[in-house]
Amino acid sequence: MTPKTRVLLGVTGGIAAYKSPDLVRRLMERGADVQVVMTSAAQRFVSPMTFQAVSGRPTRSDLWDGTAEAAMGHIELARWAEIVLIAPASADFIARLAGGRADDLLCTLCVATEAPIMLAPAMNRIMWANKATQANVDTLIGRGIRILGPASGNQACGEVGAGRMWEPAQLAETLLAPPVNAGLLAGLNVLITAGPTRERLDPVRYLTNRSSGKMGFAVAEAAREAGAHVTVVSGPVQLQTPTGVTRINVESARDMYAAVHRQVGDADIFIAAAAVADFQPVKVAKQKIKKQGGSVQLELEPAPDIIKSVADMAKRPFVVGFAAETNDVEDNARIKLKRKKLDMIAANEVGDGIAFDCEDNTLTVIWPGGKMDVPRGPKVEVARALIALIAKRLPPPDGSPRRGARKRRTAAALPRDRVRGRRPRRV
């Protein structure tokens, strides 16, 4: 019999706590042994007895409970856990964890454990968007804590937006699935472009393309999962920013070029997934262009080639391009790899119903001297495969003329596990 994964499930005070007993069952169905620890606020929503009944273990909540401590002290409990999951994680708990507090049992366990910690935030959408909450989440991500969700949708308070706890089934699956690319890009800075650009013709019209930005955002999510600090420079898209990713919104190719060059000095890896316009109007009309009965001539000039400008930098990051092609995908991609002096290119076929605005994608990844096909799958899975390939192809940290920030990081600034040469603890 395979040993059970020991999950310490922390439940904090929020209405989503009513789903946590179901989460216990889902985790147990997937072979976990679950010990529930509740905060005092959580007990106002669900009774400790409910969790005891479903988990088969006495629910813990009090740091000062002599009997429970005698059975398994809090340090022992912190060591017992192989994974710590806090679901729901309230805004208050997130703030307390970010502050390193150890004034109740659950906070103390989080400070005392060496197990990976994951949080499933659940709160009102405005509380989630609040700058203090977001800063706390950033702090926690920087410490290697993984944030699962939140999802968007109807909220218990009657509002609609981001702040719903992930469903128990999704949490259980994510938690107990094997780690993906954990720590592969730990501590590196990754800059990504995503989405289309809009080139204005007049105050009401623009030229654009069908890019949804989904692939670029999936790459951002996958890079974040791999432990990188990720910034996305995004054209106009209707997508939620992945948790822990910094987003800079731009409109035109010119704006995107400027935003990229403001950030790229610190980047270790630059991934250009945006469908940047190749041409921009020479002049933007100040007033709406009027119909005059006949045809209209638009004068277009080449838009700045962002990726090429980055690849031409003397101290450049590792540069990865995308090539969306309607025909001769691989040949065209190889030409671009060479012409734009890229380190790697991810090529895919586009056209009606393929790749653009779809949930799935397939890639042929090419680099000087090598190639790999990534089979069709959800964009985030394809993105994970691409990130794994990038990590493999990155030059070693020392002696590389390419890396800026990476070389500048001292051993003290690197995650502990990286310095020791072990895989970081992230799951």
**Separation of alpha carbons 229 and 43, rounded Å:** 36
Measured from the CB atom, the residue of 77 and 389 that comes closer to ligand C5P is 389
- Rounded Cα gap, residues 112 and 163, in angstroms: 28
The values of phi and psi at residue 111, to 5°, are: -75, -30
Tell me how far, at minimum, the Cβ of 268 lies from ligand C5P, in Å: 17
Contact predicate 327/333, CB 8 Å: no
CA 81 to each of CA 77, 193, 252, 423: distance values in angstroms, whole numbers, following the listed order: 6, 39, 49, 19
Should residue 269 be labelled a site residue for ligand C5P when binding is judged by CB under 6 A?
no
List the one residue from 274, 344, 347, 388 that touches ligand C5P (CB under 6 A): 274
Among 191, 307, 347, 389, binds ligand C5P (CB under 6 A): 307
Q: Which of 193, 361 has the CB closer to ligand C5P?
A: 193
Interface with ligand C5P includes 264 (CB under 6 A)? Answer: no
Q: 292: which residues sit within 8 A by CB, 6+ positions away?
A: none
Counting contacts by CB under 6 A, is residue 33 touching ligand C5P? no
**Ramachandran category for residue 186: left, alpha or beta (phi over 0 → left; psi -120 to 50 → alpha):** beta
Q: Which of 128, 166, 217, 322 binds ligand C5P (CB under 6 A)?
A: 322
User: Counting contacts by CB under 6 A, is residue 87 touching ligand C5P?
Assistant: no
**Judged by CB under 6 A, which of 306, 311, 383, 389 binds ligand C5P?**
306
The residue range among 5-13, 84-92, 315-323, 408-416 that interacts with ligand C5P, by the rule CB under 6 A, is 315-323
Please tell me whether residue 222 binds ligand C5P under the rule CB under 6 A. Answer: no
Pick 93 or 206: Cβ nearer ligand C5P:
206
**Minimum CB distance to ligand C5P smaller for 68 or for 275:** 275
The DSSP bridge pattern shows strands 360-367 and 344-349 to be antiparallel
Q: Say how far apart CA 222 and CA 386 lie, in whole Å.
A: 9
Residues 191-220 that bind ligand C5P (CB under 6 A): 193
Residue 319 lies near ligand C5P (rule: CB under 6 A): no
Q: Which is nearer to ligand C5P, 13 or 213 (CB)?
A: 213
Distance between CA 275 and CA 324 in Å, rounded?
Answer: 8
# residues contacting ligand C5P (CB under 6 A): 15
In the complex, the smallest distance separating the C-beta of residue 301 from ligand C5P, rounded to whole angstroms, is 12
Nearer to ligand C5P, 322 or 367 (CB): 322
Integer Cα distance of 70 and 101 in angstroms: 23
Nearer to ligand C5P, 176 or 284 (CB): 284
What angle separates helix 214-225 from helix 379-393, to the nearest 10 degrees? 60
Which burial class, exposed, middle or buried, applies to 256 when counting CB atoms under 10 A from its CB (0-12, 13-18, 19+)? buried
Is there binding between residue 253 and ligand C5P (CB under 6 A)? yes
Min dist. Cβ of residue 319 to ligand C5P (A): 9
Q: Calculate the alpha carbon distances from 379 to 101, 149, 221, 356, 360 in Å.
A: 38, 18, 10, 11, 5
The only residue of 46, 182, 272, 387 in contact with ligand C5P, by rule CB under 6 A: 272
Of 163, 195, 321, 415, the residue at the interface with ligand C5P (CB under 6 A) is 321
Comparison of 54 and 307: residue with beta carbon closer to ligand C5P: 307
Smallest gap, in angstroms, from Cβ of residue 217 to ligand C5P? 14
- Angle of the 91-98 helix axis to the 105-112 helix axis, nearest 10: 40
Place of tokens 């995650």: 415
Q: Which of residues 336-355 bind ligand C5P (CB under 6 A)?
A: 336
Nearest approach in angstroms of CB 75 to ligand C5P is 51
Calpha distance 76→312 (Å, rounded) = 55
Q: Using CA atoms, how far apart are residues 423 and 134, in angstroms rounded to an integer? A: 27
- Cite the active site residues: 157
**Which residues contact ligand C5P (rule: CB under 6 A)?**
193, 253, 272, 274, 276, 278, 303-307, 321-323, 336
